[in-house]
Amino acid sequence: MGKIAFVFSGQGDQFPGMGKELYEKYDVAKRIFNTCDTIRPGTGTQCFYGSEEELKETKNTQPCLFAMELAAANVLNEKGVRPDAVAGFSLGEVTAATYCKIFDMETGFRLVCRRGELMQHEAEKFDTSMVAVLKLSPEKVKELCENYSEVYPVNFNCPGQITVSGLSSQMTEFLGDVKAAGGRAVPLKVKGAFHSPFMKDAADLFLEELKKAKVNKGTVTLYSDMTSEQYGDDVVGLLSSQIVSPVLWEKLIENMIRDGVDRFYEIGPGKTLTNMIRKINPDVTAVSVSEFMEVEAC
């Protein structure tokens, strides 16, 4: 029997109404949302009734996703599904670290709120954007990015999919290069050039926040986006540097499979990570668990 992993989603799959059925059906989910609301009033309301544009704001997206994802993970626990390992894509790594008790819930939520604020502040300094480049190799995407001073390959998601961050003024021409090379570019529902040098100040300030937090020994093995390997002792360094570093998701999933994981539960409002994992290795099981009906089916 192989191992189970929970993988927590990042920004992009959020939608109005996420988590509402979990809140209405499960007491453990209600407690988590209520705790988040005591720290950041209105979090539940934003998840359940906020507009798509409101939820796209990074300062809102990150705490809302954290609340919804932690609620879903704890509902799965109540149903007897528990992971042997966890990982999270970008902000999902903070949720994963909180789930495995490296941070208590209140600390983890405060950290993700601050992370969202810092990253939005940096994003508002520049006119930047992110796109997913499809059908091209990592080598080709890197080659195309090297033609521009402020365009960077940042998330290595799965075969044939690399996310690129950059200045909007340079991105237009870059998209033309992608098309000419036989690729396709899909704009992402985020506001900012995340995991690129544009986020350096946010990473530095988040490091100071992390230094104030109590860091515990985790109860479940956690993998790092930045190294693709299991966490060591440098939780603070990894979580702060992650903001300004590429996400090595494809390699991370390959390493989890290497270590015995053969069943993945995506904890979040969509199926982005599930689809990536299926492309990385179609022989493992990947299941999206986002809302009430999907949770009930597990």
Task: Of 140, 89, 92, give the one whose Cα is nearest residue 247.
Answer: 89
Q: 46 CB contacts (<8 Å, ≥6 apart)?
A: 54, 55, 60, 64
Instruction: Spell out the CATH class of 3-124+196-297.
Output: alpha beta
Q: What are the domain boundaries of the chain?
A: 3-124+196-297, 128-187
Chain centre distance of CA 101: 18
Spatial distance between the Cα atoms of 191 and 60, rounded to a whole number of angstroms: 12
pLDDT tens track, the chain, 298 positions: 699 999 999 998 899 999 999 999 999 999 999 999 999 999 999 999 999 999 989 999 999 999 999 999 999 999 899 999 999 999 999 999 999 999 999 999 999 999 999 999 999 999 999 999 999 999 999 999 999 999 999 999 999 999 999 999 999 999 999 999 999 998 887 778 999 999 999 999 999 999 999 999 999 999 999 999 999 989 999 999 999 999 999 999 999 999 999 999 999 999 999 999 999 999 999 999 864 456 566 5
Superfamily for domain range 128-187: Malonyl-CoA ACP transacylase, ACP-binding (3.30.70.250)
Are the C-beta atoms of 248 and 157 separated by less than 8 Å? Answer: no
C-alpha torsion sign, points 68, 132, 279, 115: negative
Spatial distance between the Cα atoms of 165 and 145, rounded to a whole number of angstroms: 10
Query: Both tokens of residue 115?
Result: 């992370």
Q: 49 CB contacts (<8 Å, ≥6 apart)?
A: 16, 17
Are the C-beta atoms of 85 and 223 separated by less than 8 Å? Answer: yes
pTM over cut 0.75: yes
C-alpha triplet 182, 184, 189: angle, nearest 5°: 165
* pLDDT in the model for residue 291: 46
Please give the positions annotated as active site.
Answer: 90, 195
